[in-house]
Structure 1
């Protein structure tokens, strides 16, 4: 695509910024994000924004608002949802996070349209209060409802940054009351003990294909997420130092852009190498891995658990061995220690706690 001639004051591509080299453009006296690293696509988006601004200017000249001020943008909720879903795609967020945001936003837009609300400027605190009450009455827990509202909140924050709406309604103080009180995790919540994890891994070595057995062992020995395991390379393991490095890959980044080094054993390092060597053609989607875990744990006569429970078991084990909560949080790649606190559990074989009573 040939470069366009630069004209002073006219919309034009400006620069590529950030780790992902996304294009920005100059429009109406300010820099705007175009959300893509492709130059042709960036130019198309800039042209669309410029056309929309020209249309708003014409509407103002025909008597839109007082003193000739441009009419504030009033986009449809569906338009905001599509733009936000595109913005959230990897590598900005993991595919799982992007899909979660898209699903929650779609649910909200469909519900809002059922309430005869189709435009962004029609979203009010009363509407959002009705939405949270409807979700609660439908059986959704407080944590689920809070995540739904967070997705909507972030969509409107994105829309304001991009100039798609005049003002983010969630900036008002009254919207703070939308957050529901979430129940605290039970202090006696149990997790798999080290002996149970070893039994599961030994059983997997006998009954599972080698690639799945290696996947389970590396996950139990490093507490990495399954999405991170899918993008591992042999070079990510430093066997001399006993460290597994989680780093960005092409068109992928870890959750929250938090890259880290995790201490692992020699056996876990070997499992990483084995998994990378034989994972070609292996189905590693969440549903398939879940089915394989259930097949193995039934053979080992273990209670029901998921892949993420191996991550909780690792965190609980290293914390019980003396690692600080902050250090465990760094190894897990959590944004704050409060999240890690919910991961630390007690073992099924742990005491009731009576011997710790002072009197």
Structure 2
């Protein structure tokens, strides 16, 4: 499957080009970490020392088959890795390293629409009873984090990175512009050290998103601030158990999240599902998807619709009611008298 080296006519090794694409474009360290994981697990084991110029559409097709049948990746995972490789080749063309993109001639075995349907099916939305029970079972010091995820849609790292000055009780809002991430450059080529940084997809100095602060979440935060000190220059609400540093994810999952699920007696699900609960609760109440998308911090409304469109089953009914309300009074004058006859027509 792999060979010993790339000759001069085969160009630079694909693996080396991939590494440069991942590390020289100024992307977030967390993205670099993700790309390197993909490189080590999915690209290098198959392409080895192949030169980028000798990668043909047929070779990409067999790579897709290898990921599907040998690695057992889900269609959504295969599509994501395929799109990354396509981006690498697009960048290589701009750099003059290759003339064409072999990925553009490859058709994936499963359509994008089917992949997105499968992704939506994997979204786990816990019911209200489960959410409240898990919050009640969590250590009191960290209950506020669960309220933030279920009641404001914050990601885990964003809840860890929330400072006192980002909460405005008078305006009933929270500004989300920082997160705790395991992507500090350690100097060894690997990113793993903890740090507080701006949220992903946001430049330094750019204002973060403002999220509505419900009364129930505000009450939980007020109680937390009354009973627990903040930590660090950023006045973080949730530090480690000793109040001396950042809260590590392994501690969160091992000492807080998993024990709470066990105490309630429910099967394991990721704490990110509390964010799904937030989105589902808003959409089912008819909150516009554009607003929900902004409060979740998604890069686009289409991304939100892709994952949560199944949670808006009453959207057609609301659309009909909206148009009837806007146009019904100006419609055909005979609607009232001929309604029985008209509604009998298929």
Structure 2 match to 1:241: 171
Shift of 1:147: 1.1
Shift of 1:345: 6.5
Shift of 1:339: 3.3
Structure 2 match to 1:290: 253
Farther-moved stretch of structure 1 (259-268 vs 325-334):
259-268
Give distance in 1, aligned partners of 2:169 and 2:50: 56
Question: Are residues 234 and 155 of structure 1, via their aligned partners in 2, closer, same or farther at CA, if it must alter by over 3 Å?
Answer: farther
Q: Which runs of 5+ in 1 are unaligned?
A: 1-70, 347-357
Higher relative contact order (CA 8 A, sep 6+): 2
The answer as to whether partners of 1:247 and 1:260 remain within 8 angstroms in 2 is yes
Structure 2 match to 1:262: 211
Question: Are residues 245 and 84 of structure 1, via their aligned partners in 2, closer, same or farther at CA, if it must alter by over 3 Å?
Answer: same
Question: Are residues 281 and 164 of structure 1, via their aligned partners in 2, closer, same or farther at CA, if it must alter by over 3 Å?
Answer: farther
Match status 1:313 vs 2:270: no
Paired residue secondary structure (1:314):
helix
Structure 2 match to 1:118: 50
Give distance in 2, aligned partners of 1:106 and 1:302: 35
Aligned with residue 84 of structure 2, among 127, 135, 151: 151
Shift of 1:135: 0.8
Q: Deviations over 1:135-173 (max 9, x none)?
A: 110211100101111222222333344x26143525x74
Q: What is the total number of aligned residue pairs between the two structures? A: 267
Shift of 1:131: 0.5
The answer as to whether partners of 2:14 and 2:52 remain within 8 angstroms in 1 is yes
Give distance in 2, aligned partners of 1:105 and 1:221: 37
Q: Deviations over 1:155-207 (max 9, x none)?
A: 2333344x26143525x7424x2473244146797622223212221222xxx
Aligned with residue 174 of structure 1, among 92, 105, 124: 105
Aligned with residue 252 of structure 1, among 197, 200, 215: 197
Match status 1:142 vs 2:91: no
Paired residue secondary structure (1:323):
coil
Q: Deviations over 1:2-27 (max 9, x none)?
A: xxxxxxxxxxxxxxxxxxxxxxxxxx
Give distance in 1, aligned partners of 2:13 and 2:68: 26
Question: Are residues 173 and 120 of structure 1, via their aligned partners in 2, closer, same or farther at CA, if it must alter by over 3 Å?
Answer: closer
The answer as to whether partners of 2:162 and 2:178 remain within 8 angstroms in 1 is no
Paired residue secondary structure (2:211):
strand
Give distance in 1, aligned partners of 2:196 and 2:57: 37
The CA RMSD measured in Å over matched residues stands at 3.5
Structure 2 match to 1:102: 36
Give distance in 2, aligned partners of 1:239 and 1:295: 31
The answer as to whether partners of 1:190 and 1:345 remain within 8 angstroms in 2 is no
Shift of 1:235: 1.8
The answer as to whether partners of 2:21 and 2:91 remain within 8 angstroms in 1 is yes
Give distance in 2, aligned partners of 1:289 and 1:130: 41
Match status 1:80 vs 2:44: no
TM-score of the aligned structures, taking structure 1 as reference length: 0.63
Q: Deviations over 1:230-258 (max 9, x none)?
A: 33222222221111112258983423339
Q: Deviations over 1:249-292 (max 9, x none)?
A: 89834233394211112443453856724414466444432333
